[in-house]
C-alpha cells in the first residue's frame, strides 16, 4: 500500500501534535486553575523513625575527610551506651612524627536518618597506633548504625 507524501505528513503532524499537547511551561502560558496551598513541613519528619528517635538538626555538611587516610583507621565496636551510642577503633600513624587526627562519626537509623554525630581528636606518636572512641548522647534505637564519616589530619600536616 502506498501513501502520498501529503497523507504521511498530515498523519505525522497529527500524532506529534496530540503527543505534545499539554507539554508547555509557565513561560509559554500554562494557567493553573487554583493556587497551591502552602503547608508547614518540619525540617525532620518523624515518619518512619523509631519511637523516641529524633533526627539531628545540626548534621555537619562539611566534614574533614582525607580518603587516603582511611587505610590507617579501623572500627572495632559500634555499641549502645547508657545515654546513646559509641563507635571505637584504632588509628595508625605511618609517619615519622607525632600526628593529630580528627575522626568524625555519624549515628543513623537503618534507613540512614542521622540521629547524632560525634568527633574526636586522637594524638598518635610516630610509627605507632592508638585506640579512639567517638560517642554521642541521644535517644538511640537498638538498630543504630555507626558510620565512619571522616578522618583527617587535625594538625594541618598532610603527610600520610
* Residue 89 grid coordinates: 577503633
Going from N- to C-terminal start, the domains of the chain cover 67-153
pLDDT tens digits, the chain, 160 residues: what are they?
455 555 545 655 545 444 444 444 444 444 444 554 554 444 444 456 667 677 776 777 788 899 999 999 999 999 999 999 999 999 999 999 999 999 999 999 888 888 999 999 999 999 999 999 999 998 888 889 999 999 999 987 766 6
> How many Å from the N-terminal Cα to the C-terminal Cα in the chain?
75
- The answer to whether residues 65 and 151 touch, using CB atoms and an 8 Å cutoff, is yes
| Assigned C-alpha cell, 155 | 594538625
pTM value > 0.85: no
For residues 73 and 89, the answer to whether their CB atoms sit within 8 Å is yes
CATH number given to 67-153:
2.60.40.10
Per-residue pLDDT, 50 = 66
- Among residues 139, 108, 106, 109, the alpha carbon closest in space to that of 48 is found at 109
Amino acid at each position: 500500500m502506498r501513501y502520498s507524501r501529503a497523507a504521511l505528513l498530515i498523519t505525522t503532524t497529527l500524532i506529534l501534535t496530540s503527543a505534545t499537547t499539554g507539554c508547555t511551561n509557565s513561560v509559554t502560558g500554562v494557567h493553573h486553575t487554583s493556587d497551591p496551598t502552602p503547608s508547614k513541613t518540619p525540617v525532620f519528619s518523624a515518619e518512619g523513625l523509631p519511637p523516641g528517635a529524633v533526627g539531628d538538626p545540626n548534621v555537619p555538611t562539611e566534614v574533614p575527610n582525607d580518603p587516603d587516610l582511611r587505610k590507617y583507621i579501623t572500627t572495632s565496636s559500634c555499641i549502645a551506651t547508657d545515654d546513646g551510642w559509641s563507635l571505637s577503633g584504632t588509628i595508625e600513624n605511618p609517619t615519622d612524627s607525632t600526628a593529630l587526627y580528627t575522626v568524625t562519626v555519624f549515628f543513623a537509623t537503618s534507613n540512614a536518618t542521622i540521629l547524632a554525630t560525634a568527633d574526636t581528636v586522637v594524638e598518635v606518636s610516630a610509627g605507632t597506633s592508638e585506640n579512639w572512641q567517638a560517642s554521642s548522647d541521644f535517644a538511640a534505637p537498638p538498630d543504630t548504625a555507626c558510620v565512619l564519616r571522616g578522618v583527617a589530619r587535625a594538625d594541618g600536616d598532610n603527610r600520610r
